[in-house]
Structure 1
């Protein structure tokens, strides 16, 4: 850790120019993030200490990067999502869908993929995976009772709890893991990676006329996300559930198990009945969530005047203004209305304060506070790129990209995002990728969104290694999936996602953002 700043000192010394100092900080933080020599959040805090000391930005400017519009969106949407977890609303939704679709092994996989993909559009994918994992385990336990093998045989000197998951079980676990990552790409609040990309774009191009808004981002990504979720199902059927190998060990096991699948369906139905009907607390949270989504979509939908446009000028009111009131209401609205008995004059009267829809202690314990520091560190770097003149300096050095056509640059942007996020977590990867893509777009004289949007989506696709994302690590640790097995299983979903994002960048991108066909004046420095 101590050697890294020393090794890269020649970047800054003897040419002690502002852009050299910024490159030095960027390289050191990138190495720290990618190698994780310190916790990611600690690296994210470094700009507060280093940038003022090196004369890059003053302390006030750096600290403002840790509470931007994008961070306010992240904070608000995550707290609202935690309300669903706190009230057990997620369990009702998941078990309800399983009960409706059915419980044959292949049908269960489809229902898990669709359920996880849908939930992760509105909740952080790490939270969704944590919520779905107990359901997957419960379903697989029922399968095991029915005679299906969900664990590999014991190896010599191996503890029982260390047995690796069978190919069938891996299909279910990775189905949830990959569906959460894919589904999270459907909305701006589905992943912190998207907010990192949006925030850096706003900082790097404060005068941009093309904006990454909630409705446009959703329309941009939803088509390829739906196709990717649907394709994930047959991919896992082929690779893990023996779809075209009926005589294989997996195929024979699933055929024999099909006879007892009704018992599994009955077990899931019983669990759904045991949790009871949806209560008042869950209903209120669901209504608030739907209202919040409605306001986000129709804030400034571009195709028609939105409610924000009618109140103030366009883009004066942005997403946090629509989200934060609902966060406040979670702590204002009571979970039940027993208190009304006092007002009506009949008992039994309440002897303590009525609890709100969400407990702040629960938020304190479950909110991913570290992500704010990682995002803030990335935003501080983006601001330094602009303020120190590093952006035009790098742009002049990258004129060789002028000879490459935009479609090739878009493909390279996606591949670059996927590769970096495979080696390190999504948000840290995005903090490294977006500033570089910004300068490549300047060198190539192409609209920044042509590379930043595909690159950001590429940073969200990390299916190959357990340490690439928190959901990957969470699933690998709990399901006992080895690195080799995850890497092999993730190859086809990764290629599929890359191709779908690239197809979107070539076609749908220019329909939604028609002005990106020209290099804008506001991007020039």
Structure 2
């Protein structure tokens, strides 16, 4: 039996096993069915016999067929407003990639910060984190890694140990910075959207761009600096001015190849800057005057303008559909699948039943519980994607938080 067949059978097998076990005391029948459906989806998200997005469509089929919820009640979750916020964010990311604005920003930051090897590593990390605030972590890593490799290869230090340490610190720094930067903004990484959509659905709490930014930016900055200090301690770097001159020369030559800032880049900066300003000021000022406006309305308005504002080159708009269609549409289905399962937990009574079972954990140390949760999530994310892990764990952790009487955000974040 090949691996894919085993992975395919894992989901239906778990589904049937849970349906066949006797109904636990106090558990509604619909709750057990929801648990069985969740087990099937989770198994396929982990084993990936099919694409994650395809697995995310299972709740749309299984919930109605198993009598948990009608299709009309759950299909709207695949069009939640948070999903459109991220679609708009993906459009901006693709536009930034199209006109190479990310490369100019990154190289400029590295050039001005990188006066010695340690600061060169910091420059790459700051640039990677900044870009990752607006573009997905994976896309940022794909953009930044070739530049980092080119800079690392340009050094000709006679000290092999120093050269190797520089390469390790630089490439690891870029990788970690891409993940850290995504924490700073709402649109930085899809897992942020999963959290936001879940707390809105479960607790009715709306988190604005500005509220997240006030929390996320200081947190990400602290993590970034701590990561940089750790890397240069683990991989000690000399204050080698010769290496610094070589790497800065490489960065300068890359900047020269880009030439002067172009009309599309300038217009994109103005448009995206306006959207960011609207996000920041909206919750503070004008959302109160326009009660039906929110971050999603601002984002979608900006995304539409990308297709309307001329780039200044050959009558092309800043973004065309041939480019836009390449955004990661599968993530949209992942969001929808996670939200549908969340609704199933609540509507079937599974969340309430699990909360009652977890009430006894209130006697345990909250620090120990938090450490256990972190360990489980880290281990699970090693075998499943971050998005799938977040989608699977949100319901469990929220129920756990309610059961032990702690603020849910403490575990969900």
TM-score by length of 1: 0.72
1:361 counterpart residue number: 322
1:46 counterpart residue number: 58
426-435 or 413-422, larger mean C-alpha shift: 413-422
1:195 counterpart residue number: 193
Are residue 428 (structure 1) and residue 388 (structure 2) matched? yes
1:132 counterpart residue number: 144
Structure 1 pair 293/237, CA: closer, same or farther in 2 (3 Å)?
A: same
2: distance between equivalents of 1:432 and 1:40?
Answer: 12
2:12 counterpart residue number: 5
Structure 2 residue runs of 5 or longer lacking an equivalent are 1-7
1:157 counterpart residue number: none
After TM superposition, give the deviation of residue 103 of structure 1 in Å: 5.2
Q: What count of residue pairs does the alignment treat as equivalent?
A: 401
Q: Which has the higher helix share?
A: 2
SS in structure 1 at match of 2:57: helix
Q: Which has the higher contact order (CA 8 A, sep 6+)?
A: 2
CA displacement, residues 119-167 of structure 1 (integer Å, 9 cap, x when unaligned): 1112211111111122112212212x566769xxxxxxxxxxxxxx955
CA RMSD of aligned residues (A): 2.3
User: Which of 384, 394, 398 is equivalent to 2:354?
Assistant: 394
Q: Is the 8 A contact 1:402 1:443 kept in 2?
A: yes
User: Which of 305, 323, 332 is equivalent to 1:329?
Assistant: 305
CA displacement, residues 286-318 of structure 1 (integer Å, 9 cap, x when unaligned): 1111111111122214xxxx2111222xxx432
After TM superposition, give the deviation of residue 7 of structure 1 in Å: 4.1
1:469 counterpart residue number: none
1:293 counterpart residue number: 276
Structure 1 pair 368/175, CA: closer, same or farther in 2 (3 Å)?
A: same
SS in structure 2 at match of 1:187: coil
After TM superposition, give the deviation of residue 385 of structure 1 in Å: 0.7
2:116 counterpart residue number: 104
User: Which of 361, 366, 379 is equivalent to 2:339?
Assistant: 379
Q: Is the 8 A contact 2:184 2:220 kept in 1?
A: yes
Structure 1 residue runs of 5 or longer lacking an equivalent are 151-164, 244-253, 338-352, 454-525
User: Which of 249, 260, 263 is equivalent to 1:266?
Assistant: 249
2: distance between equivalents of 1:202 and 1:406?
Answer: 25
2: distance between equivalents of 1:70 and 1:404?
Answer: 35
2: distance between equivalents of 1:103 and 1:187?
Answer: 29
1:185 counterpart residue number: 183
User: Which of 278, 281, 298 is equivalent to 2:264?
Assistant: 281
CA displacement, residues 190-230 of structure 1 (integer Å, 9 cap, x when unaligned): 1100101111222223xx3x432221122122222111111
CA displacement, residues 216-254 of structure 1 (integer Å, 9 cap, x when unaligned): 1221222221111111112111223x24xxxxxxxxxx6
Alignment of 1:4-403 (within 5 A): 4-13=11-20, 15=23, 17-102=29-114, 104-143=116-155, 166-205=164-203, 208=204, 210-240=205-235, 242-243=236-237, 258-301=241-284, 306-312=285-291, 316-336=292-312, 354-365=315-326, 367-403=327-363
2: distance between equivalents of 1:392 and 1:81?
Answer: 40
Q: Is the 8 A contact 1:103 1:264 kept in 2?
A: no
Q: Is the 8 A contact 1:70 1:199 kept in 2?
A: yes
Structure 1 pair 392/403, CA: closer, same or farther in 2 (3 Å)?
A: same
Structure 1 pair 318/83, CA: closer, same or farther in 2 (3 Å)?
A: same
TM-score by length of 2: 0.90
SS in structure 1 at match of 2:325: helix
2: distance between equivalents of 1:211 and 1:385?
Answer: 20
2: distance between equivalents of 1:3 and 1:221?
Answer: 38
